[in-house]
Amino acid sequence: MMTTDLLLNTILISDQDYLKKVVSQRDYNTFIGLHQSSSSTFFITEKQAYLLVKLFKENQKNLEKYTGEISETITNPTWSRPFRKIEQVRKLSLVKNDEAELVLCIEYTFSASLRNLMHELGKKVENFIQGSAGKIYYAAMTEQNIVTIVDELTPHNFVIDETIKNHYDAIKSWSEESIKNQFLITNIENINFQKHITNDLGISTTIDNNIINDRSIRYQYFTENAKNHGETLTEVIANRPKTKIWIDKKEHSLADVIRSLKELRRLPILVVFDNQDQDAYLENLEILSDSLEKNKITNQIGIYFRLQNSDIGKQFNQLISNKKYNAELNSKTTVAAVQSGKIPKFFLKNPWKPMSVITLDTRMGLRHGKTGVYANCCDLVIEYANTPSMLEQRKIFV
């Protein structure tokens, strides 16, 4: 009796034109693919074998010349070689990213259910990035991410690195109340903490509740102040629950945003222009320039990119020249501007760091790309646009 895979081989070698004529194009392409797999060194998998039998059964009437052979192989399919085994990988581990930082790494052999699981995790996990292989995902190594990912993957029989398990057990053992008490600003006596706060704000700064609440993310402390989420734009920014916040440009002017940043002692500022909409470059630069002047910020400003000499590009470049927005990046720089997804190399070698980031109409946000990675050094990223970006729907809205 001829084995099932050899029957397919025989039909394709002697009657390929006949096969193409009597079966659908889709089934023909599938037959070709299965033949290539069965002829390879690795052979076919058990699922592919079931598929081949199913195709023969569905096309038995069409393949009249081989009705007898197909009837036998449907009733009692046999195979010339053992099936190829696919290693089932389901693993959560720690790896180092390009910046030599430890991140969580999820690896798995493809399945539709796990693909859907990864989609859902992307809505809950911070800095969740798909690897180039498509079956690898990376996430920031944070306490919340560890708990969320371990809870989601455990029912699916993932092998979890022992170090991650230990972190998970430690986090789950914490008492929320005792942790909050430990990190209440009124209970922190560490000298380095006081030193950093002083270096940030200066000794003579009048520190109100907005500034105290604003710095809680930066210095990782809790406050006993009642959160005020909407009296003024400054209060909204100061009381944000996460680093990223969307501000509706239809409701607030850019001048108002910068005024709030000045009140919160949030200079210097990194401004990110969207590189998808050429027509918006000049308009946004004019708005930015007007907003800075209204806030009496006229010096130490650097726009670190230029446009090609189109009509818009010439006006854009000329405005930079007229306003002298070409200051060298150094410790005195007040405002620096770049294109989304592009960070000049000198930024990476320069000690200058922004106290706040404003993105102008960035459609995809700063979740990915070089600009997004660079902006992670900042605890306040404001997306200033008419609508929130496609990739940052979980930010708070203003």
Residues 249 and 393 in one domain: yes
Query: Can you give the pLDDT at residue 397?
Result: 42
Q: Is 188 within the bounds of a domain? A: no
Distance CA 140, CA 345 (A): 24
Residues 257 and 385 in one domain: yes
Residues 306 and 160 in one domain: no
Query: Can you give the pLDDT at residue 188?
Result: 65
Residues 383 and 279 in one domain: yes
Distance CA 239, CA 227 (A): 6
Asked which of 121, 141, 174 is the last residue of a domain, the reply is 174
Residues 156 and 266 in one domain: no
Q: Is 161 within the bounds of a domain? A: yes
Q: Is 67 within the bounds of a domain? A: yes
Full domain range(s) for residue 329: 240-397
Q: What is the pTM of this model?
A: 0.58
Q: What is the largest CA-CA distance in the chain?
A: 95
Residues 159 and 294 in one domain: no
Q: Is 287 within the bounds of a domain? A: yes
Residues 364 and 247 in one domain: yes
The tens digit of pLDDT for each residue in 108-127 reads 987 788 889 999 998 899 88
Residues 12 and 100 in one domain: no
Mapping DSSP onto H, E and C, the string for the chain reads CCCHHHHHHHHHHHHHHHHHHHCCHHHHHHHHHHHHHHHCCCCCCHHHHHHHHHHHHHCCCCCHHHHHHHHHHHHCCCCCCCCCCCCCCEEEEEEECCCCCEEEEEEECCCHHHHHHHHHHHHHCCCCEECCCCCEEEEECCHHHHHHHHHHHHHHCCEECHHHHHHHHHHHHCCHHHHHHHCEHHHCCCHHHHHHHHHHHCCCCCCCHHHHHHHHHHHCCECCCCCCCCCCHHHHHHCCCCCEEEEECCCCCHHHHHHHHHHCCCCCEEEEECCCCHHHHHHHHHHHHHHHHHCCCCCCEEECCCCCCCHHHHHHHHHHHHHCCECCCCCCCCEEEEECCCCCHHHHHCCCCCCEEEEECCCCCCCCHHHHHHHCCCCCEEEEECCCCCCCCCCEEC
Domains held by the chain: number: 3
CATH code of residue 267: 3.40.50
Q: Is 194 within the bounds of a domain? A: no
Residues 336 and 274 in one domain: yes
Residues 135 and 58 in one domain: no
Q: Is 131 within the bounds of a domain? A: yes
Residue 130, beta-bridge partner list: 137
Q: Is 208 within the bounds of a domain? A: no
Asked which of 50, 75, 100 is the last residue of a domain, the reply is 75
Residues 63 and 126 in one domain: no
- In the chain, the percentage of residues whose pLDDT exceeds 70 is 86
Q: Is 162 within the bounds of a domain? A: yes
What tokens appear for 246 in the block? 């969307």
C-alpha distances (whole Å) from 367 to each of 117, 146, 173, 389 are 20, 19, 31, 10
Residues 164 and 290 in one domain: no
Query: Can you give the pLDDT at residue 220?
Result: 80
pLDDT, tens digit only, all 398 positions of the chain: 789 999 999 999 888 999 999 999 999 999 999 999 998 888 988 889 999 999 999 999 999 888 888 888 888 999 999 988 877 789 999 998 877 889 999 999 877 888 899 999 988 998 888 886 668 999 999 999 999 999 999 999 999 999 999 999 999 998 877 777 776 766 666 667 666 666 676 655 566 778 888 888 888 887 766 555 667 999 999 999 889 999 999 999 999 999 999 999 999 999 999 866 677 899 999 999 999 999 999 999 999 999 988 888 999 999 999 999 999 999 999 999 999 888 999 998 999 999 999 999 866 556 567 888 888 889 999 999 888 875 454 444 44
Give 99's contacts (C-beta < 8 A, 6+ positions apart): 373
Closest CA to 11 of 47, 42, 50, 38: 38
Q: Alpha carbon 145 to chain centroid distance?
A: 13
The tens digit of pLDDT for each residue in 193-214 reads 666 666 676 655 566 778 888 8
Distance CA 105, CA 94 (A): 6
Asked which of 128, 151, 174 is the last residue of a domain, the reply is 174
